[in-house]
Structure 1
Amino acid sequence: MTHPLRQHIEEIIKLSDEEFEFVLGHFEQINRRKHQYIVQEGDIVNKEFWILKGCIKSYFIDDSGKEHILQFGMENWWITDYESFVKQTKAKTFIDCIEDCELLYITYENREKLTAEMHKMERFWAKKSKLGRIALQNRILSLLKNSANERYNLLLEQYPKLFQRVPKKMIAAYLGVSRETLSRLNS
């Protein structure tokens, strides 16, 4: 059976067996339990995580204590606090597990080394980065121009399985609405 990371990478670039083994050698696997953090605000983040199994949320807490969810992550998704990862500054977000998770991670140093030594992987991450920017742009545009109902329906259309895995209060925090508003949208 083909390794899930290889399947993921080969959606963009093809790798020989030797190339994939070289790539995989730059990753480590970890398991985290439900509610366990992989990043906390203030950490210096040196890892980018790829989700083998489980569901994760990235969020920040405002000055009044309200949680704002920036991103969910499920199988085959990448997640980290990217500013901290790239600039080696303090993380501005928390990332924790909504479910028990199996993760692969690559350190910043190993990612830089891998891209320098293997241009195929440089192309892979360039494409993933572009796709990530598109997704972020679409999320910002949706928050600015769409009604709460439109945002809800769009999320439901794009990620129907998310609604079975994530509590409604987290969906509300992601959409930027109250739990009560979400209940009205859901009925």
Structure 2
Amino acid sequence: MKRSIFTIAFALVASGVSATEPVEVERKEVKAGESTVTWKAYKVTGSHTGTVALKSGALLFEEGQLTGGEFEVDMTTLIATDLEGESRQKLEGHLKSDDFFSVESHPSSTLVFTSVKATGKNSYEVTGDLTIKGITKPITFDVSVYGSKATATVKVDRAQYNVRYGSGSFFENLGDKTIYDEFDLVVDLEF
């Protein structure tokens, strides 16, 4: 009996059958025009909200499981949605200036997933390299995938990307002019 099991195992190995077949990676391009990235920034006296558009992006899957992703955001599309008229134009101009995101010299930001860990049926913990103003730092957040949609809420510390204006991390005695370092990105992807 032992000899026949050995003979079958040897025959399988000799015939080239392998227990570890290569897994096919499926790349799903994100529909940039149908996806949204909403931002919310906080200050002592309130908050502001707005959007920024995806330029491109893709999610990678193996056997239906999220395994990777990469995205480029068009920083020139940064807008405020909670203000109108001159106030809105003033805030948008300030956010695009060197005081904040230096959009003229850094017109895009990127995110590249470096590790993905399943935490539930449709949930993943993702770590990625986020690049803003040419500075790349690791960031970790949760992603949920349902059918052809993915969602994530990402908390970003702007101080790590040298976005200093009104930051208590860089300046003292700002009082009610302080703008908090962390801002939120709510991402809804269609692919």
Name the structure where strand makes up a greater proportion of residues.
2
Answer whether TM exceeds 0.5 for this pair: no
Smaller-chain TM-score range?
A: under 0.3
- Normalised by the length of structure 1, the TM-score is 0.24
Q: Which of 1 and 2 has greater Rg?
A: 2
Name the structure where helix makes up a greater proportion of residues.
1
Relative contact order, higher structure (CA 8 A, sep 6+): 1
- Normalised by the length of structure 2, the TM-score is 0.24
